[in-house]
A = this chain, B = another copy of it.
């Protein structure tokens, strides 16, 4: 639920540490994510990460080959989940509208539940070496193209009205990634509430909400009273 990796679940045996202690790694990644978020990747030293984890800097090198490996693990918490958990929603059950709503709610909810990792994934990509950067971007493109194909299919089916589904996918992603920049717990909207409302707005954006439109120019509106 938080940003721990899935633990392999074997090795509940004795013998202690054969798979290089994945749980400990995940703990340390979570600590590093938090600091990367607060001060930026280059703004945090290995000494600071170690201090926050209550060990010495040198001990980190027992678990990770480099500082960059800590960064890569942080980022994968986000991009792996999007492709593994979110993308299949689009192939699942329900109308196109229902599936899009479910995707957006899950996406925004994931931001709220993994704030440190999202912040890092959104801002520190360039700190990766070219090879590792490519690996991450493969995931991103898969998510983006999956959504584009889905919007094209939904338009062909008459549920959406996207003239350029590829561009609409970018616009939707731009919008639903936005809360990563500004949402924080304790604000006006809880993350579930925000997720639901953004899902409705995304539906409008792709032309899938026949009720969310004002009448023609110059007429009075016939919808409900202006909230706020």
Contact = CB atoms under 8 A, between A and B. Distances in A.
Interface residues of A, number: 64
Given A170-B178, A171-B198, A164 B41 contact: no
Contacts of A39: 126
Given A40-B127, A42-B40, A166-B228, A212 B178 contact: no
B217 A97 contact: yes
A11 interface: no
Contact of A182 (B127, B170, B201, B204): B170
Nearest to A214: B161
Contact of A167 (B124, B155, B189, B217): B189
Contacts of A219: 158
Interface in A12-53: 38-43
A214 B208 CA distance: 6
Interface string A183-205: 00000110000100110010011
Contact of A158 (B156, B174, B204, B221): B221
A209 B212 CA distance: 10
A95 interface: yes
A85 interface: no
B126 A161 contact: no
A220 interface: yes
Contacts of A38: 126
A160 B214 contact: yes
9 contacts: A95-B217, A156-B226, A158-B219, A161-B213, A167-B194, A170-B182, A175-B178, A178-B178, A210-B214
Interface of A: 38-43, 95, 97, 122-124, 126-127, 152, 155-156, 158-161, 163-168, 170-171, 173-179, 181-182, 188-189, 194, 197-198, 201, 204-205, 207-210, 212-221, 223-224, 226-228
